[in-house]
Amino acid sequence: MFNSPLLLGFDHFERALDRVSKISTDGYPPYNIEQLGENALQITLAVAGFTMGDLGITIEDNQLVVRGKQADDERRVYLHRGIAARQFQRSFVLAEGIEVSGARLDNGLLRIDLVRPEVESRVRTVQIKTSSDGPQAARARRVDPAVPGAGEKIR
């Protein structure tokens, strides 16, 4: 997809698209993604029944991974069990520069705050040199200080 000679350095986008296509399509837990401002997002996952100790958030190669694992309480005897102890893994591919600024668990909702710090646009001038200033010219310079004219170009 990104193998055009005009697209230089876009191989990380191709890898990101591969990761997105491999992410599980399981619908649990349900989630929302909200835009809170120009540079702020919030992911909210419905994780009722999970405690802070049951949940983990990691960032792996620009991928936000939320994991949950509930342990069965062996001391309980259920006559009917409609709420299963389950585990999940939900992944979100983050764009370059997106940072996780915090997370909190409140009333069964895990909220993860994301920000994109403003990047200052910068202009840089690249010096253009002649072919005599290139790597070949540097190798042709004399390096022995005992030789008269050391450091001058050999013609």
List, for residues 31-86, the tens digit of each pLDDT value.
999 999 889 999 999 999 899 999 999 998 889 999 999 887 788 888 888 877 78
Check which CATH number belongs to the domain holding 33 and give it.
2.60.40.790
Does residue 122 lie within any of the structural domains?
A: no
Does residue 101 lie within any of the structural domains?
A: yes
Where in 27-98 does DSSP place strands (E)? 31-37, 40-46, 55-59, 63-69, 87-93
Average pLDDT over residues 24-30: 76
What's residue 96's pLDDT? 85
Q: How many domains does the chain have?
A: 1
State the residue range of the domain holding 46.
Answer: 28-115
What's residue 21's pLDDT? 56
Does residue 75 lie within any of the structural domains?
A: yes
Does residue 6 lie within any of the structural domains?
A: no
Does residue 18 lie within any of the structural domains?
A: no
pTM beyond 0.75:
no
* pLDDT score of 141 more than 70: no
Let me know if 113 is exposed, middle or buried by CB neighbors in 10 A (0-12, 13-18, 19+): middle
Task: Report residue 18's pLDDT band, with 50, 70 and 90 as the boundaries.
Answer: low
Does residue 17 lie within any of the structural domains?
A: no
Strand partners, 109: 46, 106
Whether the link from the prior residue into 117 is cis, omega within 30° of 0, is no
Does residue 98 lie within any of the structural domains?
A: yes
Does residue 88 lie within any of the structural domains?
A: yes
User: Which has the closest alpha carbon to 88: 49, 35, 34, 32?
Assistant: 49
Residues 6+ apart with CB under 8 A from 103: 57, 110, 111, 112, 113
Tell me the three state secondary structure of residue 146: coil
What's residue 33's pLDDT? 94
List, for residues 95-136, the tens digit of each pLDDT value.
888 999 999 999 999 999 999 888 778 888 999 998 876 665
What's residue 112's pLDDT? 97
Output 155 or 123, whichever has higher pLDDT.
Answer: 123
What's residue 1's pLDDT? 58
What's residue 66's pLDDT? 96
Tell me the three state secondary structure of residue 136: helix
